[in-house]
Amino acid sequence: MSAHDRDHWDTTYERRIGEGRFPPPDPLLLQFTPPPEADARALDLAAGLGQNSLWLAEQGYTVDVMDISRVALNHAYDEAMERRLRTLNFYHVDLDEVQLGTGVYDVICVFRFLKRELMPQLRAAVRPGGRIVYQTFNIHRLDTMPDANPDYLLQPGELPGYFADWRLVYHAERGNTAQVVAVKPDAR
């Protein structure tokens, strides 16, 4: 991502922060995230203001919070300190260059972000028996936002295809969004 991308997202999040109330966690995450076991780790990729990260930390996960916007990360950090949450690691990263590792996370959540080239890393970063909770926009977003870049919009059925060899817990395509919750098979 370029400096232009960072500036765009910093400006976007400055505006959202100015609107007041901290956003709630995404309902898909609330519905499909299991209680953590000891030493459970989670990743919130393209975390934005960090509402999902904070909720995961409140449940007992140690959470890596990654985003390109320093403004968003600073706001998430301030909110975490206000809530006395200490199990979050904040990473200001360019998602074009991120390295996620292998078998690191019990839960990875991604909301409103698509970078197809990251799918192999996301798959590898989930521990066997762990899960991914993913929701982003599909091509129908063009119906209401004709200027949206189609490179960042899913085709129908594309998202579950990335996890076809995993146990699909949930999949829905409604309106302009696609959702998937999938569990990585245990190593054999």
pLDDT for the residue numbered 136:
96
> What is the span of the domain harbouring residue 161?
3-183
Q: What angle do CA 97, 129, 34 make, to 5 degrees?
A: 95
Structural domain contains residue 162: yes
Structural domain contains residue 107: yes
pLDDT for the residue numbered 137:
92
Structural domain contains residue 9: yes
Structural domain contains residue 92: yes
Measured between alpha carbons, how far is 125 from 136 in angstroms, rounded to an integer?
A: 19
Q: How many domains does the chain have?
A: 1
CATH at residue 157: 3.40.50.150
The one-digit pLDDT tens for each residue of the chain (188 residues) are: 566 666 655 565 566 665 666 678 999 999 999 999 999 999 999 999 999 999 999 999 999 999 988 988 998 999 999 999 999 999 999 988 999 999 999 999 999 999 999 999 999 999 999 999 999 999 998 898 899 888 999 999 999 999 999 999 999 999 999 999 999 999 76
| Residue closest to 129 by CA, chosen among 60, 70, 188, 184 | 184
Say which residues have a Cβ less than 8 Å from residue 111's Cβ, sequence separation at least 6: 26, 28, 29, 46, 48, 52, 134, 135, 136
Structural domain contains residue 46: yes
pLDDT for the residue numbered 71:
87
Tokens of 28: 């898909």
Structural domain contains residue 188: no
Measured between alpha carbons, how far is 167 from 164 in angstroms, rounded to an integer?
A: 8
| Residue closest to 183 by CA, chosen among 138, 137, 123, 135 | 123
Structural domain contains residue 98: yes
Tokens of 3: 């400096």
